[in-house]
Amino acid sequence: MPDYAFLHKQFMPLSEAKIGVLTHALHYGTACFEGIRANWDSEHDRFCLFRIQDHYKRMLGGCRLLRINLPYSVDKLCQLTAELVERSGHREDVYIRPLAYKSSETVGVRLHKLEDDFLIVVTTLPPYLDSENGVRSCISSWRRVDDTMIPPRGKICGSYVNSALAKTEAWENGFDEAILLTQDGHVSEGSGENIFLILGGKLITPSPSDNIIIGITRDTVIKLAKNELGIDTIERSVDRSELYVAEECFFTGTAANVAPILEIDHRPIGTGKIGKTTAKLQKLFVEVMLGRNPKYADWYYPVSPKAPIQSGHNRIS
Ligand SMILES: Cc1ncc(COP(=O)(O)O)c(C=O)c1O
């Protein structure tokens, strides 16, 4: 199944979606992006886009940080995305990657006096971490980029070099994922996920001031823990050593879902198996994320398939 894109205000097959080699964002990372899941609901023959409005609200925040002006509201961005998914021809879970970027083809580091553009790609996403069986992690030798350097809350492309350095170091050392600490040594997050721990029976996650991305999965898990299990989440700074002595630990993210952490720096977490609360949250999350829990209908954006996009672009107004 070929993939599809929305670029330069047109829908087109991905193979036809090209940008110039001098594009500012390519050279300087001056862009921000989102990752959104559209899950295929075979029972109702439609996609369910999960918390798409929240993803676009976050992206527009990143645009403000980068002084990117898009001519689209959250509603319009959702409509464009829905149309791309509708016409993609897929009948399976897909991953949506919107990108708002400095599009001028010019050399020179700055944010001002540059043109802006917006694209969306729809593609399939292989499992990112082994959420079913759990992952082995390590503390990275790289520190998390600080809000005073590149604001992490913006999902800014350039800041992902920080994540990439940590991820590859972890992988080359035989781990599945890295955990980054802040400059002052507190736990921040994984290279592409937020992190939670259960310590002394309490559910804890690093607070936004520890340079995390304020994850939509993180927020979903906090709400599910409260509403469905009656567990409050404590948002506070977390020491590295608290992870080692925690009863349970897990990552959360759009790509990773809820991924249990079985081991950190060769130390088993709790029993070294998937913890009870983690397993409960994982099950609740998957049901909700797949659009199967009517109680959370506000988070769902249903989209029914239409005729696929053909070659020859389709311009929108
Ligand atoms: C560095 C980082 N932290 C956390 C997250 C989790 O955010 P979300 O749950 O909104 O996908 C992501 C994924 O976007 C990420 O890239």
pLDDT tens for residues 228-274? 999 999 999 999 999 999 999 999 999 999 999 999 999 999 999 99
Q: Could you tell me which residues come within 8 angstroms of residue 166 by beta carbon, excluding any fewer than 6 positions away? A: 140, 142, 178, 180, 191
DSSP annotation of 273 reads S
Q: What is the DSSP string of 8-60?
A: TTEEEEGGG----TTBHHHHH--EEE--EEEEEETTTTEEEEESHHHHHHHHH
Q: Which atom of ligand 1 is nearest to the CA of 155?
A: 16
254 lines ligand 1 (CB under 6 A): yes
Encoded amino acid at 82, one letter: A
Q: Is 155 a catalytic residue?
A: yes
Largest separation between any pair of C-alpha atoms in the chain: 60
Return the pLDDT at 43: 87
Percent share of the chain, pLDDT over 70:
96
Return the pLDDT at 317: 42
pLDDT digits 0-9 by tens, 25-56 = 999 999 999 999 999 988 889 999 999 999 99
Nearest CA to ligand 1 atom 2: 192
260 lines ligand 1 (CB under 6 A): no
Q: Which atom of ligand 1 is nearest to the CA of 255?
A: 11
Return the pLDDT at 314: 67
Which of 163, 182, 254 for mutating ligand 1's site (highest number of atoms within 8 Å of CB)?
254
218 lines ligand 1 (CB under 6 A): yes
Paired sense of beta strands 36-41 and 31-33, if any: unpaired
Q: Which residue out of 9, 113, 155, 280 is catalytically annotated?
A: 155
The rounded radius of gyration (Å) of the Cα atoms in the chain is 20
Return the pLDDT at 313: 63
- Please tell me the distance from the alpha carbon of residue 13 to that of residue 122, in angstroms, as a whole number: 10
Return the pLDDT at 315: 57
Q: Which atom of ligand 1 is nearest to the CA of 55?
A: 10
What separation in angstroms does the CA of 250 have from each of 68, 78, 187? Answer: 34, 30, 13
Distance (Å) from CA 194 to ligand 1 centroid: 6
Nearest CA to ligand 1 atom 5: 193
208 lines ligand 1 (CB under 6 A): no
pLDDT digits 0-9 by tens, 152-163 = 999 999 999 999
Return the pLDDT at 87: 87
The reported pTM is: 0.95
What separation in angstroms does the CA of 90 have from each of 17, 39, 148, 256? Answer: 18, 11, 41, 21
Q: Does 310 score more than 80 pLDDT?
A: no
Distance (Å) from CA 155 to ligand 1 centroid: 8
Distance (Å) from CA 235 to ligand 1 centroid: 17
Return the pLDDT at 3: 81
pLDDT digits 0-9 by tens, 52-95 = 999 999 999 999 999 999 999 999 999 999 999 998 888 899 99
192 lines ligand 1 (CB under 6 A): yes
Average pLDDT over the chain, rounded to whole?
Answer: 95
- Please tell me the distance from the alpha carbon of residue 276 to that of residue 279, in angstroms, as a whole number: 5
Distance (Å) from CA 192 to ligand 1 centroid: 5
Average pLDDT score over residue span 184-211: 98
Return the pLDDT at 2: 66
Nearest Cα to 188, choosing from 180, 197, 177?
A: 180
Encoded amino acid at 240, one letter: R
151 lines ligand 1 (CB under 6 A): no
